[in-house]
Amino acid sequence: DIAPSKIVQYLKGRSSKLIQDEFPELKKRYWGQHIWARGYFCATVGTVTEETIRNYIENQENRKDINEVFKIEE
């Protein structure tokens, strides 16, 4: 079995390289940075609805902690 984190790591890494090869201006713009966010969302089909996934994706821009590396709040 392959861990979901390894799949995401591969997809982000490979797609980042392909995008930067296709659009050299992005390679210059993001030099020393990452194109993709560090996190990812993963859940089994049986434990999450399509609506949950859709809401998660649509609300990514509205996150207050978008610049936080790691934070736990009660």
**pLDDT single digits (tens) 4-59:** 888 888 999 899 888 888 888 888 887 777 788 888 888 776 778 889 888 888 88
Residue 64, phi then psi, degrees to nearest 5: -75, -30
Residue 16 lies in a domain: yes
Whether 69 maps to a domain, the answer reads no
Asked if the structure places residue 50 within a domain, the reply is yes
**pLDDT above 70 for 66:** no
Domain span at residue 24 reads: 4-62
In which band, very low, low, confident or very high, does the pLDDT at 72 lie, cut at 50, 70 and 90? very low
DSSP 8-state code for residue 45:
G
Give the span between the Cα atoms of 48 and 16, in whole angstroms: 28
Q: CA–CA separation, 2 vs 10, rounded Å?
A: 11
Residue 51 resides in a domain: yes
Q: Is residue 36 assigned to a domain?
A: yes
The model's pTM is 0.51
Nearest-CA neighbor of 27 among 36, 11, 16? 16
Q: Diameter of the chain by CA atoms?
A: 44
Examine residue 72 and state whether it is found in any structural domain, yes or no.
no
